[in-house]
């Protein structure tokens, strides 16, 4: 999912839809609410928790495990199909599955529709955003909005680009989000950050430059 494609979807489809939805159910357009929601959508890894409380390598492996599991579960448990989508060959994906201790047989016991995890994440994000504005929104209108959230979430997901990130793209996006978040938490103290996430100082600097992470 390129930044240009996502930005285009936001501007041309999602933002107009959010404005129309707010007018319909709330009777007003709340700019802060719209921005809060679109900020969440702008993150390419929608629905993934970035665990900055964990060391870098452990957090990355946890993300990779969750990422590959979701791809398998939303593609009929087909490992070959998952490999193709992720830009991996069969040997590579089976190596990752073994390394990450993924039980494919267990995953196949519960399959999900494509877009399921994004819809659930969008649903939670909408509810969290609305909760922030409870004090300024009309209770009855707010109640109606909450009731419509499952449908609103589903519609937003339909507007999102369908292309799945490759294994390499997903890993890089995780690193970018993780490092930016932990750097902000540590007020960009590089020495403290490197020590906290168990990463060499030089490696942290190299990744910041490579991923173009800025304050």
For the whole model, what pTM was predicted? Answer: 0.85
Domain locations along the chain: 1-165
Residue 164 banded pLDDT, cuts 50, 70, 90: confident
pLDDT of amino acid 9: 83
* Across 97-111, average pLDDT: 96
pLDDT of amino acid 4: 59
Q: Which residue has the tokens 């509810």?
A: 127
Give the tens place of pLDDT for each residue, 33-56. 888 888 877 777 888 989 999 999
* Across 77-87, average pLDDT: 96
Decide if pLDDT at 121 tops 70.
yes
* Across 90-119, average pLDDT: 95
């Amino acid at each position: 999912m390129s930044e240009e494609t996502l930005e285009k979807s936001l501007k041309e489809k999602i933002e107009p839809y959010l404005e129309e939805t707010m007018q319909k159910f709330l009777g007003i357009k709340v700019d802060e609410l719209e921005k809060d929601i679109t900020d969440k959508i702008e993150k390419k890894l929608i629905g993934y928790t970035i665990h900055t409380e964990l060391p870098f390598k452990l957090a990355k492996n946890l993300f990779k495990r969750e990422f590959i599991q979701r791809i398998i579960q939303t593609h009929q448990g087909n490992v070959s199909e998952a490999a193709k989508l992720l830009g991996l060959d069969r040997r590579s994906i089976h190596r990752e599955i073994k390394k990450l201790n993924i039980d494919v047989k267990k995953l196949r016991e519960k399959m999900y529709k494509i877009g399921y995890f994004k819809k659930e994440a969008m649903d939670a994000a909408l509810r969290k955003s609305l909760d922030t504005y409870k004090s300024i929104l009309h209770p009855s209108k707010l109640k109606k909005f909450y009731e419509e959230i499952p449908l609103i979430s589903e519609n937003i997901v339909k507007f999102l680009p369908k292309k799945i990130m490759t294994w390499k793209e997903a890993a890089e996006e995780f690193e970018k989000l993780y490092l930016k978040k932990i750097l902000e938490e540590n007020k960009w103290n590089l020495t403290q950050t490197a020590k906290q996430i168990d990463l060499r100082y030089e490696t942290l600097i190299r990744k910041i430059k490579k991923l173009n992470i800025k304050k």
